A and B are shown apart, each in its own frame.
Chain A
Amino acid sequence: MLSELSVEDLLRKQKRLRRQFLENQNGMRELRIAVLGGVTTAEVVDLLELLLLDAGFRPVFYQSEYNRYFEDAVLEPEKLVEFRPEIVYVHTHWINARNNRLGAAATAAELQEAVAAELARYQEIWNSLHQTVGCNIIQNNFETPPVGLLGNSDCVSDSGRTRFIWELNLAFSNAASKDPKLSIQDLNSLAAMIGHAQWYDWTRWFSYKIPTTPEASLAIARSTAAIIGAIFGKSKKCLVLDLDNTLWGGVIGDVGPARIEIGKETALAEAYTAFQQYCLDLRGRGVLLAVCSKNQEEIAREGFAHPDSVLKLEHFSAFKANWEPKHQNIQAIATELNLGLDSFVFIDDNPAERALVRAQLPMVLTPEVGSDVSLYPAILQATRCLESVRLSKEDLERADAYAANAARASSAAKFADYGAYLDSLQMSAEIDLFSPVYLDRIAQLINKTNQFNLTTRRFTYAEVEEMSKSPDAIPLYGKLTDSFGDNGLISIVIGRRDGVALHLDLWLMSCRVLKREMELAMLEVLVERAGACGIERLIGYYYPTAKNKMVEEHYGQLGFSLESSTGEGSIWSLNIAGYVPRTRHIAILQKAAAANL
């Protein structure tokens, strides 16, 4: 695991590690990254390459010549366009920022003018990149200068360089909040975390135009890899938590629920309370919580009835307290939540349990958290495994949606006939062509759905946007609402027209709406739309992966006929002429139709 190697080892063994990764490159996804630098970017890129290889990508880089970032992006973008990047990382430094023109007597107006001018220069870069290559952009903000000429008042004075950087960073954040294809890398916080004394290295700046220490370069590379991972849906989705000495102090089976350490009475109790609050805050932004503890279930549950417990039973999407080995429980949780094992992080104070899970389930991230709970939030943040590009409405409501699912499951048990159960859900689906307001969610779903995914093709936000405008594409999204709540946007089908045939490049669905006949509703709208454009045949593809066996028979079940089948997958077709709609339990709304009501 690369995370255990020091920067010294990484740089020293870089060439060999790279060679070894590339020798076992089966199934690694090529990722084309252009790095436009205001400084020498080679060291950061070498480290980033290793981190991305470790994350299962096969990165290919384009690097601008030293300090030619503006020229490459704006004036002579030909080489960049030819490279066809999927990500452009604009890695500039405050040294590149043109703030020196502010004299000591600068006024407030002059400061604002200088900030606006510098922002405009970057906007020219971003806009040009949008127009020429159209892919996701990662732009770092800036560390504050290590020496404020005015000392403390450098952050106050209109001529202060620290003040200038603060204002510019805020302007970058404002710009990025309005631009879904622009991600800001918070270099300022990164430098603060490491400390300027360990961040800057002026010998290297003057010798090689690298302004940072190797340690800082590694921190930059890790943060960049995390953003890229998040863009391509590799962030973790569920935190699996041990109980005794992880969520509270003491062994609840020994001391009893009244005597566990939680609350405000002791320093230790406060630290456990703070960690519970951190977990609850993560849940609020879309991370699922699950319990995996060696305990008697009734006793374990009593811990959350403690009046000082911040976490309550209803906050957990899965709860496993028994004496089975933990790796088996985590597998059971994965099945229950319909998530791949690589979506999980496991937190346990017991090093033996961590070692077991790490050995049995290497795809589960098991950080070395140690036994001091006060450090857990910082250790977990440092893994950057929960990075999110931007929060969508679905993220904010996800944990509650899973809770509603549990309610649906328990009500399903009461119906003898499954159809009657589906009717009782009073489902209605909105199925329509991609529209701009959903593009964020669509890109997110495309990049993280693994199980109900026929082709597992990934598309970036930029590609999704392009498809939504293409005359030869029928890109459909589906949203499903039922009596328990709104499931949000949960299905995507992308058809590509070729004469009278429509190739289904993508068909995916979130597992939270499995067995609801949503796929029948999607097919119905697809057939209708395709028929209206004169298409006669739908061609479906199934490409098997380690995770999508559940949809092996998807097209067969929808009434497609098998055309051919090889080890690499199967091809299916459906003639529109003979199609009979089969949706029985979902009312379908198309926005165009709904508007006429």
Chain B
Amino acid sequence: MNNTEIIAELQPIFADILDLPDLRLTAKTTAPEVEGWDSLAHINLVVAIEKHYKVKFALGELQDLKNVGDMADLIIRKLGA
């Protein structure tokens, strides 16, 4: 799967957790510009992504992500590993 496909899969997950049915994610989307994407929602997002892809992020892996595109790249790396 490529970056765009992952983001397309992330969209309904984000929409559910943030309760924003009309949310549109792009690679450039960042937390501050999305309503309700606070640190607590972030914890839920990480749980949902881990469960969806059956991966477990190691300590520190999430620290340097700047936007949704970075998250998608990380998921691709984890799936490939």
Interface residues of A (CB under 8 A from B): 8, 11-16, 19, 42-43, 46, 202-204, 206-208, 210, 214
**Interface window among B2-10, B25-33, B53-61, B72-80:** B53-61
- Given A12-B16, A15-B18, CB of A208 within 8 Å of CB of B43: yes
| Interface assignment of B62: CB less than 8 Å from any CB of chain A | yes
**Could you jot down 6 A-B contacts, CB within 8 Å?**
A8-B47, A11-B17, A11-B48, A13-B16, A42-B43, A202-B59
**CA A63 – CA B77 in complex, angstroms?**
37
- Given A206-B59, A207-B59, CB of A16 within 8 Å of CB of B44: no
**CA A123 – CA B80 in complex, angstroms?**
52
Contact B48 A12 (CB under 8 A): yes
Which residues on A sit within 8 Å (CB–CB) of B51?
Answer: 8
- How far in angstroms is the closest Cβ of chain A from B13? 7
Closest to A42 in B: B40
Contact B62 A207 (CB under 8 A): yes
Which residues on B sit within 8 Å (CB–CB) of A12?
Answer: 13, 16-17, 44, 48
Contact B56 A19 (CB under 8 A): no
Contact B58 A203 (CB under 8 A): yes
Which residues on A sit within 8 Å (CB–CB) of B48?
Answer: 8, 11-12
- How far in angstroms is the closest Cβ of chain B from A330? 37
**CA A206 – CA B63 in complex, angstroms?**
12
Contact A11 B56 (CB under 8 A): no
- How far in angstroms is the closest Cβ of chain B from A71? 21
- Given A16-B19, A19-B19, CB of A11 within 8 Å of CB of B58: no
Closest to A6 in B: B51
| The residue from B39, B44, B56, B59 contacting A14, defined by CB atoms under 8 A apart | B44
Which residues on A sit within 8 Å (CB–CB) of B56?
Answer: 203
**CA A210 – CA B13 in complex, angstroms?**
22
Interface residues of B (CB under 8 A from A): 13, 16-19, 36, 39-40, 43-44, 47-48, 51, 56-59, 62
**CA A153 – CA B40 in complex, angstroms?**
39
Contact B59 A11 (CB under 8 A): no
- Given A12-B13, A15-B17, A203-B58, CB of A214 within 8 Å of CB of B40: no
Query: What are the 6 A-B residue pairs with the smallest beta carbon separation, nearest first?
Result: A15-B19, A8-B51, A12-B16, A42-B40, A203-B59, A12-B48
Closest to B48 in A: A12
**CA A50 – CA B17 in complex, angstroms?**
14
**CA A15 – CA B45 in complex, angstroms?**
13
Closest to A19 in B: B19
Closest to B43 in A: A208
Closest to A210 in B: B43
**CA A207 – CA B46 in complex, angstroms?**
11
**CA A13 – CA B13 in complex, angstroms?**
9
| 8 additional contacts (CB under 8 A) given A208-B43, A214-B47 | A11-B17, A11-B44, A11-B47, A12-B17, A42-B40, A42-B43, A43-B43, A208-B39
Which residues on B sit within 8 Å (CB–CB) of A15?
Answer: 16-19, 36
Chain A CB within 10 A, most for which of B40, B56, B57, B58: B40
Contact B16 A16 (CB under 8 A): yes
Which residues on B sit within 8 Å (CB–CB) of A204?
Answer: 43
Which residues on B sit within 8 Å (CB–CB) of A202?
Answer: 59
**CA A204 – CA B42 in complex, angstroms?**
12
- How far in angstroms is the closest Cβ of chain A from B25? 16
Which residues on B sit within 8 Å (CB–CB) of A210?
Answer: 43
- How far in angstroms is the closest Cβ of chain B from A178? 38
Closest to B16 in A: A12
Closest to B56 in A: A203
Closest to A208 in B: B43
- How far in angstroms is the closest Cβ of chain B from A7? 8
Which residues on A sit within 8 Å (CB–CB) of B62?
Answer: 207
Which residues on B sit within 8 Å (CB–CB) of A208?
Answer: 39, 43
**CA A42 – CA B41 in complex, angstroms?**
10
**CA A202 – CA B62 in complex, angstroms?**
15
**CA A15 – CA B44 in complex, angstroms?**
11
Which residues on A sit within 8 Å (CB–CB) of B44?
Answer: 11-12, 14, 43, 46
- How far in angstroms is the closest Cβ of chain B from A164? 27
Which residues on B sit within 8 Å (CB–CB) of A206?
Answer: 59
**CA A460 – CA B2 in complex, angstroms?**
57
- How far in angstroms is the closest Cβ of chain A from B20? 9
Closest to B58 in A: A203
Which residues on B sit within 8 Å (CB–CB) of A19?
Answer: 19
